[in-house]
Amino acid sequence: MISISLQDGDLVLSILKLSVDRLPSFLLNQCFAYCSNFSKGFKFQKEELIQMWMAQGFIIQPQDGRNLVIEDIGDKYFNIVLSRSLFQDVVKDERGRITHCKMHDLIYEIACTISHSKKLHSGHANLLEEGSCTNWSRKSVVNLRTFICDGQMLHEMIHDRITNCFRLRVLILNSSVQNLPDSIGKMKHLRYLDISDSKIKEIRYSFSLLYNLQTLKLGRSTKNLPNNLSKLVSLRHLQFPILNFTEKTKQMPPHLSRLTQLQTLSGFVVGFENGCKIEELGPLKNLKGRLELSNLEHIKSKEEAMTSKLVEKKNLNELLFEWDLHILREGSINNNNDLEVLEGLQPHQSLQFLSIKNFAGQFLPSGIFVENLVVIHLRHCERCEILPMLGQLSNLEELNISSLNRVRSIGNEFYGNDATHLALFPKLKKFVLSQMYSLEQWEELVVASNDAIFPRLEDLNIRGCPKLTSIPNIFGSSSHAGVRNFRSLHIYGCEYLWM
């Protein structure tokens, strides 16, 4: 345990320091002190901070923690520090998960004191804080473990500083840097590389020598994913702007299935060639969070789609499926193939967010909409003629249906009414229906007196439905819960609509 001394007169700092002194381990003290390497008032992204702790070796998996991945232990570390009120201004996403936090100025001073007292700070450099760092010695550069460049430094100056940093574990280049130094392949200890806000366009071949790299974050300037990416056998987190790469990339680098430790993968562009097909996702059992799959028209059959083994990936909570819209316009695709492929991409029951775009089948398979879904987006499914049965999804809170231009009516098939469900769309809060150019009828549903339709609906948005003439009475039900919850109604571009 680390105990630091402060001036007796500084009562506030003395009290705050107790929370630090009582951290249960030396490693937790290191995690806390590491935050001093960022500027005062810095907004930490939780997952990034944990990944940097991992890169520094501050998180160790216990011998009896066989079922825990190291990120889970890092999450526990973060929660312990948070529980001591050493983080503040916590930001959560729409599902209540912590995404960001800050450190109070006084707490930050304590972190700096610990860092300097244990000489932890000498192994890290933040150029935004240190300026040009002209006083660096060659010895200090060689021993540097963290290099953060957030300022507008000259490209040549940055290269000169990091050329000999062979012991770096964390490298963040968010500035005017245009390419990685030739020496990047010699940084054998590098575990965290973030060039997402740099101007780096190409990744050098020597990059594949970073066998210990755990986290790689690329930005919009980077043209393509490295073709030899599969050599980074320790990679756990690969993040890149999927829309940017989808526009430039016809397929993923080959043999990503070799990255068996991979947990975060922003997206996968399905290709034709061996090593680039959807089957590469099969061995990646630890994938979690959000995954976007594009160019799904390259999958030939349901059996091929099943090789992705999405149904076994219980830690994926967001999936986005996208086909090529141009193929839909040309009419050169087999409708039934899209249906079979989507059935083969069956997700795990734990999935919470599902987006389907440019699907070319006549109807969407009901089995793809699993029980735990909270958000569903259906967009540009141009040939879909009927809406899927969604009314019985007990956790669905947001539904967005757009540009299903062959749907003419919404009827009982949408609700899936049966005697076992007392409420239809029981938790739905937001419903958006837009650009449905052929939609003419939204039928009134006859239900038993004890049933309710949209009992918790708060926001109904209908726009761009020029043929729609009426909508059912969904503002009140037998329980009248809808009346209490309803907040906003937006109707635009529906000149024939009356209620």
How far apart are the two ends of the chain, measured CA to CA in Å? 69
pLDDT above 80: residue 376: yes
Domain boundary residue among 206, 240, 274?
240
Q: pLDDT grade, residue 198 (50/70/90)?
A: confident
Count of domains observed in the chain: 2
Instruction: Report yes or no on 209 lying in a domain.
Output: yes
Do 146 and 109 lie in one domain? The reply is no
Q: Tell me which range, 165-174, 296-305, 333-342, is most confidently predicted by mean pLDDT.
A: 296-305
Do 142 and 106 lie in one domain? The reply is no
Q: What's the CATH number where 84 sits?
A: 1.10.10
Answer for the pair 192, 48: CB distance below 8 angstroms, yes or no. no
Do 142 and 78 lie in one domain? The reply is no
Q: What is the DSSP letter of 282?
A: T
Model-wide pTM > 0.85: yes
15-29, 75-89, 296-310, 408-422, range with the lowest pLDDT: 408-422
Do 73 and 28 lie in one domain? The reply is yes
- Sign of the alpha-carbon dihedral angle for 271, 274, 279, 280: negative
Domain boundary residue among 240, 269, 290?
240
pLDDT above 90: residue 216: yes
Do 37 and 91 lie in one domain? The reply is yes
Domain boundary residue among 87, 118, 149?
118
Answer for the pair 127, 157: CB distance below 8 angstroms, yes or no. no
Q: What is the predicted pLDDT for the residue at 487?
A: 84
Q: What is the predicted pLDDT for the residue at 132?
A: 40
Q: What is the predicted pLDDT for the residue at 205?
A: 77
pLDDT above 50: residue 131: no
pLDDT above 80: residue 344: yes
Instruction: Report yes or no on 154 lying in a domain.
Output: yes
291: nearest Cα among 354, 245, 233:
354
CB-count burial class (<10 Å; 0-12, 13-18, 19+) for 415: buried
Do 142 and 215 lie in one domain? The reply is yes
Instruction: Report yes or no on 29 lying in a domain.
Output: yes
Q: What is the predicted pLDDT for the residue at 419?
A: 46
Do 91 and 143 lie in one domain? The reply is no
* Average pLDDT for 11-17: 74
Cα dihedral: 492, 493, 497, 499 (round 10): 0
**Cα separation, 51 vs 495, whole angstroms:** 53
105-119, 201-215, 360-374, range with the lowest pLDDT: 105-119
- Mean pLDDT, all residues of the chain: 85
* Average pLDDT for 189-204: 90
Q: pLDDT grade, residue 160 (50/70/90)?
A: low
Structure-token pair, residue 38: 């960022």
Structure-token pair, residue 143: 């021993």
Instruction: Report yes or no on 77 lying in a domain.
Output: yes
Do 164 and 99 lie in one domain? The reply is no
**Cα separation, 319 vs 354, whole angstroms:** 5
Do 199 and 153 lie in one domain? The reply is yes
pLDDT above 70: residue 141: no
Containing structural domain, residue 187: 121-128+138-240
**Cα separation, 228 vs 253, whole angstroms:** 7
* Average pLDDT for 345-353: 98
- List CB contacts of 229: < 8 A, sequence separation 6 or more: 208, 235, 238, 253, 256, 259
Instruction: Report yes or no on 329 lying in a domain.
Output: no
Scored b (16 or more CB within 10 A) or e, 363-384 reads: bbeeebbbeebbbbbbbbbebb
Instruction: Report yes or no on 484 lying in a domain.
Output: no
Do 105 and 144 lie in one domain? The reply is no
Do 193 and 226 lie in one domain? The reply is yes
Q: What's the CATH number where 178 sits?
A: 3.80.10.10
Instruction: Report yes or no on 86 lying in a domain.
Output: yes
* 3-state class (DSSP) for residue 329: helix
Q: pLDDT grade, residue 119 (50/70/90)?
A: very low
Instruction: Report yes or no on 188 lying in a domain.
Output: yes
Do 107 and 162 lie in one domain? The reply is no
* Average pLDDT for 27-41: 93
